[in-house]
Structure 1
Amino acid sequence: MSPAPTPDPTVRHLYVHVPFCPSICPYCDFHVLTRRAGLVEAYLAKLDEEAARLADSYDVELDTVYLGGGTPSFLRDSELSALVGSVQRHLGWGRVENTLEVNPGTVSTERAALWRDLGLDRASVGVQSLDDATLKFLGRQHDARQARDAVGTLVGTGFRVSGDLITAVPGQPLDRDIHGLTELGVGHVSAYTLTIEPGTEFARRGVTVEEDDERRGFERTEELLTARGFTRYEISNYALPGQESRHNLAYWHGRTYLGLGPGAAGHYPVQRRARGDSGNGPAARPGEDQTPSGSDGILTTRRTNPHLHEWLAGAAGEDDPIDGHEFVTDALFMGLRLRDGIDLADVTRRSGVDVRARYAAPIDANVTRGLLTLDGDRLRATPEGWWVLNRVVTDFLEEDTADGG
């Protein structure tokens, strides 16, 4: 008999999507747009309403808040202050970490001080490269000098700073980019391979990325950052000791989180606040499930909000109910991205699915291929397994299909 699942009904993480950007990069496929008169004001008013509704619906004790986009730092000072005020008033604030995504061209000493005063303590800076030719190719509006100045200002203002890099760009001086970024004092680096997504300007131009360049960047980045004391704790993320992104770790560990704003994705518990509970307000709306897990076996729900104009008009988000087997598949796909992998006993407890028994065949096959290792209940991807992780997870999906799951 499979164990009863034990999901955590309390939500401890919040993602806020700010869709506004000064310009649209040719590789970007996120929900972003340039600002127009009245649009930011309408966004902030609707955001406040949505934050209040989430507070009324879920038990929330935030550990982390992440303001992403788009370009949250592109908001004017009064606008960002209003956004943070809405979050704090309705949902509280992160007790562990509060991150702001930052475009280098928006940073000044005065603004960095304001952001710290608002309670933001971590900055994820879209450096992408410290080479002007590479930045021009990527369509970035800042140059290398602005990127260096921005990181230096944020470090000097007391932020924990993460620098984003894009690798496998034609002609990119990757070694120089990594040397330069680490010398600026960042404690974290996110390094993502340039990916050409359908519908982007790069796709329309016919830009391609060679697999050999992708693999070379994948391996060289680890070599260079490891030599500088960084640990690759996730496929694309490196940190000095204690500098890991607590918010992103929540994603990779399959925790629930709120998604606030247009285009925002969230991962919600089935259990909602019971009517009359003390705290942020009344609970679930009539007809909404208030049990720890749904009677139909649903453990959690992933919800993606509509894009800005539909969101402003009150359109509902798109829900994807997650049962035990889907929970396991998600846990594998996300957790195997981590250097520490996943604890199969913990996933079994949280999903109600005996993972070791149900997925014995794909586990054994991928261990034999050298793509996974299994030490007790700890399942990890090897470096080669990271490179073909989609293929590894597909084996687990196929096992579900074969069993009619």
Structure 2
Amino acid sequence: MLPVVSPLPPQLDPVVRHLYVHVPFCPTICPYCDFHVLTRRAGLVERYLARLDEEARELAATFRVDLDTVYVGGGTPSFLRDEELRALAHSVQRHLGWGRLENTLEINPGTVSAARAAHWRALGFDRASVGVQSLDDATLRFLGRQHDAAQAAAAVQTLVAGGFRVSGDLITAVPGQPLDTDIQGLVDLGVGHVSAYTLTIEPGTEFARRGVNVSEDDERAGFERTEALLTAQGFTRYEVSNYARPGQESRHNTAYWLGRTYLGLGPGAAGHYPSPVLTVRRTNPHLHEWLTGAVGETLPIDAEEYVTDALFMGLRLQHGIDLADLSRRSGLNVPQRYAAPLRRNVERGLLTLEGDRLRATPQGWWVLNRVVTDFLEA
């Protein structure tokens, strides 16, 4: 059972308005993936759904919840059978409600049909995040994807026609990838949002065991070429790796970047929760331990860690972060407390400060980890 929390300090909203739900099941495990995923086994999904319903009830009893957004990710949520996803959605809606502004479902192209798209819409999902990754068959084979380019294109077209706001995921810096063709293809399919992430080789993945490498030159070339092509097509780069047409930004992910609190539901799900001190981060245990009712690792966040977390996330956004608002929320005088790293990074051309608005420059985006480390060491 989750601990009951006391009232928050007055500077933070005591109501949690965002929910992430993790579905750990995938048909196969991609060689670059380091998320908590596994293939389904007999009876496992049923046990997952039963425990999910219990945890949703516990969250509802512990926190004040009034949801603006819900994001169901994984894993492959669309890999769930229709009745399974219906049970998941009904558990969320019964105990926690549903997002007023946005409800996103992560979708694998190989799971899409017109009938299933209509079913997802009927459940209340209005935004689809589609794991296209590439529209080139050779690139998809290298990435270990089970769909081909034709399936990906058909899936996006079906979801657009079905009334979804559609985001296409794209992996860049893949050896031999025709990036220009991938980007133009996504735009032509009618997506309103593109998430473009550099291929990253994480320890423990199949790619790491194979010795696959991504050069910094290829990473930077993909980084810059993606921006050039998408902005030329009318997309705005509103976050380091995310581009949108006007009004198509991800409201749920923007809440992360703005440092808002959110609930984490499901095995391996992370949450950022209100607490009597300031906030708490908790990561749920993996599936088999989670099924027993175990509570994951809990990390209290003090004012200084809250600020550096907020800087790391907020500086990913094109409009940056309001230091006066951050001072109000954290209880620290941020410009005064971090005057030295602010001055250094402005002088280096990595940050700009206009009034209370702190932004990363394009060069600062490229070395954002280094910038935030300077604040951590202050």
Q: TM-score normalised by the shorter chain: which range applies?
A: over 0.9
The residue that corresponds to 1:305 in the other structure is 284
The residue that corresponds to 2:199 in the other structure is 194
Q: Aligned with 2:132: secondary structure?
A: strand
Cα distance in 2 between the residues matched to 1:130 and 1:245: 22
Which AA in structure 2 matches 1:218?
A: F
Which AA in structure 1 matches 2:372?
A: V
The residue that corresponds to 1:85 in the other structure is 90
| Structure 1: unaligned runs, 5 residues or longer | 271-293, 400-405
Return the offset for 1:315.
Answer: 1.4
Matched, 1:28 2:33: yes
| Structure 2: unaligned runs, 5 residues or longer | 1-8
Superposed counterparts of 1:164-243, under 5 Å: 164-243=169-248
| Identical residues among aligned pairs (%) | 81
Superposed counterparts of 1:2-401, under 5 Å: 6-270=11-275, 294=276, 298-399=277-378
Return the offset for 1:317.
Answer: 1.1
Alpha carbons 1:161, 1:186 under 8 Å: kept: yes
Aligned-CA RMSD value:
0.6
Cα distance in 2 between the residues matched to 1:384 and 1:103: 34
- TM-score, scaled relative to structure 1: 0.91
Return the offset for 1:46.
Answer: 0.1
Return the offset for 1:5.
Answer: 6.1
Which AA in structure 1 matches 2:302?
A: D
Alpha carbons 1:267, 1:300 under 8 Å: kept: yes
Cα offsets for 1:27-59 (capped at 9, x unmatched): 000000000000000000000000000000000
Cα distance in 1 between the residues matched to 2:35 and 2:299: 20
Q: Aligned with 2:282: secondary structure?
A: strand
Alpha carbons 1:263, 1:308 under 8 Å: kept: yes
Return the offset for 1:7.
Answer: 1.1
The count of residues paired between Structure 1 and Structure 2 equals 370
Cα distance in 2 between the residues matched to 1:338 and 1:329: 15
- TM-score, scaled relative to structure 2: 0.97
Q: Aligned with 1:182: secondary structure?
A: helix
Which AA in structure 2 matches 1:22?
A: P
Which AA in structure 2 matches 1:192?
A: Y
Return the offset for 1:81.
Answer: 0.2
Cα distance in 1 between the residues matched to 2:211 and 2:294: 35
Cα distance in 2 between the residues matched to 1:213 and 1:154: 32
Q: Aligned with 2:278: secondary structure?
A: strand
Cα distance in 2 between the residues matched to 1:76 and 1:67: 14
Alpha carbons 1:303, 1:317 under 8 Å: kept: yes
Alpha carbons 1:5, 1:349 under 8 Å: kept: no
Q: Aligned with 1:24: secondary structure?
A: coil
Alpha carbons 1:134, 1:169 under 8 Å: kept: yes
Cα distance in 2 between the residues matched to 1:316 and 1:54: 12
Cα offsets for 1:256-308 (capped at 9, x unmatched): 000000000000001xxxxxxxxxxxxxxxxxxxxxxx3xxx30000000000
Return the offset for 1:352.
Answer: 0.3
Q: Aligned with 2:28: secondary structure?
A: coil
Cα offsets for 1:102-150 (capped at 9, x unmatched): 0000000000000000000000000000000000000000000000000
Which AA in structure 2 matches 1:176?
A: T
Which AA in structure 1 matches 2:307?
A: V
